[in-house]
Amino acid sequence: MDMEVINTVGRRKASVARVYVTEGDGRIFVNGKEYRDYFPQIHIQQNIDAPFRAANLTGSYNVKVNVKGGGFKGQSEAIRMAIAKALVEIDAELRKPLKDLKYLKRDSRVVERKKFGKPKARKSFQFSKR
């Protein structure tokens, strides 16, 4: 199948990742930088190529990513979700292995808002009876 650009969106916490997948030699660029330069931590880099490893497609697609919002962990997991969605669009057979690893599920956990009269969302100031 001759493939054009496939684009998908992934979200996690406050991050939104737009991913453009084309056939190529496995290069991944995040916001114009090589992904290993953008995410220096190895465990965060592994999030990004995890869908390719799960599908045994390492080095067969080029990926261009625009990601904004959140921190590096949320961004990497948003990218992971978007890449997994793109791979499923390319080949529907990959849905089961990626779904089993929960790469296609939106992780909806976000930071709880701070409440008034408290220093954080649930933490209280020290209580003193006397």
Q: How confident is the model at residue 58 (pLDDT cuts 50, 70, 90)?
A: confident
Please write the tens of the pLDDT for every residue from 1-19.
Answer: 456 899 999 999 999 999 9
Mean pLDDT of 69-80: 94
Flag whether 41 is in a domain: yes
Flag whether 82 is in a domain: yes
Q: What is the 3-state secondary structure (H, E, C) of 12-38?
A: ECCEEEEEEEEECCCCEEECCEEHHHH
Flag whether 130 is in a domain: no
> What CATH number corresponds to the domain at position 51?
3.30.230.10
Flag whether 44 is in a domain: yes
112 φ/ψ angles, rounded to the nearest 5 degrees: -75, 145
Structure tokens at 59: 């080095």
pLDDT given at position 38: 94
Domain ranges, residue 13: 6-100
Flag whether 28 is in a domain: yes
pLDDT given at position 130: 84
Flag whether 50 is in a domain: yes
Please write the tens of the pLDDT for every residue from 75-121.
Answer: 999 999 999 999 999 989 999 999 999 999 999 999 999 999 999 99
Mean pLDDT of 13-29: 93
Number of domains forming the structure of the chain: 1
